[in-house]
Amino acid sequence: MKNFLITGGAGFIGSNFVHLMLKKYDDINVVVYDKMTYAGNLDNLAPVADDPRYNFYKGDICDHATVDEVMQKYKIDIIVNFAAETHVDRSLTEPGGFIQTDVYGTYILLEAAKKYEIERYHQISTDEVYGAVMEGRSVETDPLEPRSPYSAAKAGGDMMCQAYYTSFDIPITITRGSNNIGPYQYPEKVVPLFVSNAMEDKPLPLYGDGLQMRDYQYVLDHCEGIDTVLQKGKLGEIYNLGTGAETTNITMTKAILHLLGKPESLIQPITDRPGHDRRYALDCGKIQALGWNNQYNFEMAIEATVKWYVDNQDWWHKIKDGERYKEYYNRQYSGREVEK
């Protein structure tokens, strides 16, 4: 049996990864280690709650003593670090928590990897570390040019991993993912926000001219890619992980409205995000050479995603009907409307 520590496993991608790994492999134990910030949600892990190979441990990756305790208690072989502050908009107003978790927390986990001489430390990173890419596609050796506090903090985490590989031979790998969509995504991110708003006949707050481009990837493809790198990735290496196809935000928004049978008049242009990166684009040749590929194109991914939110309204209503979410939404969006 291999013992996995999945940090941030109560969030969106981490919980999907836990589901996939427990389905795919009989010979693993999974410990989810999560601070349970606003983004952590045990409902995301309800389908595996009774699986004897799954354990949950509430803790902060910045807390050395608790990380140490869980490493010893569960004899961890492999750490997959999903834990992070993840929302770009929040990083513009409260950057401190991003630096703390995404950089310092990564360092604490790398120290644990070093102390316990584990088999693998895998870091979940993002295409945003390359900065806005107006032409061509980012390859793994490109310079890092992060432009938001979120992406700067993630770049710091990546570089810490590389430093621990170089300095201490820690067996690290890194994947840099694009915009994931699918089940269990907190409805602050654009796709679950727009799908749920549209279902409630509320406006869809589209930033700026809506012509920014993102590579929207189905979360299961991302999770399979991470597993591929765990199985076949070379130690010390970075792998881009996206679809390699970009969609403008306005196209994505219209696709959602079309799938739900809602009018385009729900689109409400609002003032742009400060420093909004216009485009991200990944070259994914390196991970494809390991034998992985996407199973979902954009149309399939958005259709499957919309269907999940239609079929699981209790899941997102529980979040959106709460005071904490309503307060965030008002703070983030009120008074930003611009004329159509």
* Positions that interact with ligand NAD (CB under 6 A): 7-8, 10-14, 34-37, 39-40, 60-62, 82-86, 101, 105, 124, 126, 154, 177, 179-180, 186
Q: Does 173 bind ligand DAU (CB under 6 A)?
A: no
**Residue nearer to ligand DAU on the CB measure, 128 or 221:** 128
**Residue nearer to ligand DAU on the CB measure, 113 or 219:** 219
- For 190-238, the DSSP string reads HHHHHHHHHHTT--EEEETTS--EE-EEEHHHHHHHHHHHHHHPPTT-E
- For 244-286, the DSSP string reads S--EEHHHHHHHHHHHHT--GGGEEEEPPPTT---B--B--HH
Q: Does 320 bind ligand DAU (CB under 6 A)?
A: no
| Contact of residue 193 among ligand DAU, ligand NAD, none (CB under 5-8 Å per partner type) | ligand DAU
Residue 242 Cβ vs ligand NAD, minimum distance, rounded to whole Å: 9
Q: Does 91 bind ligand DAU (CB under 6 A)?
A: no
What is Dmax (Cα atoms) for the chain? 59
Kind and range of the H or E run holding 339: none
| Contact of residue 249 among ligand DAU, ligand NAD, none (CB under 5-8 Å per partner type) | ligand DAU
**Residue nearer to ligand NAD on the CB measure, 3 or 180:** 180
Residues 109 and 121: beta-carbon distance below 8 Å: yes
The length of the chain is: 340
| Site size with ligand DAU, rule: CB under 6 A | 19
Residue 38 Cβ vs ligand NAD, minimum distance, rounded to whole Å: 8
**Residue nearer to ligand NAD on the CB measure, 11 or 131:** 11
Catalytically active residues are 127-128, 150
Residue 20 Cβ vs ligand NAD, minimum distance, rounded to whole Å: 13
Cβ-based neighbours of 183, under 8 Å, separated by 6 or more: 16, 219, 305, 308, 312
- φ/ψ of residue 146, rounded to 5: -65, 150
- CA distance linking residue 69 with residue 46, whole number of Å: 25
How many CB atoms sit inside 10 A of residue 284's CB?
A: 25
Mark the segment that binds ligand DAU (CB under 6 A) among 41-49, 81-89, 158-166, 287-295. 81-89
By CB under 6 A, the residues from 264 to 293 that bind ligand DAU are: 273, 280
Question: Residue number with the shortest CB distance to ligand NAD?
Answer: 11
By CB under 6 A, the residues from 180 to 199 that bind ligand DAU are: 189-190, 193
- For 87-113, the DSSP string reads -HHHHHH-THHHHIIIIIIHHHHHHHH
Residue showing tokens 């930003």: 336
Q: Which amino acid is at 296?
A: Y
| Contact of residue 233 among ligand NAD, ligand DAU, none (CB under 5-8 Å per partner type) | none
**Binding-site ranges for ligand DAU (CB under 6 A):** 86-88, 126-128, 178-179, 189-190, 193, 205-207, 212, 214, 249, 273, 280
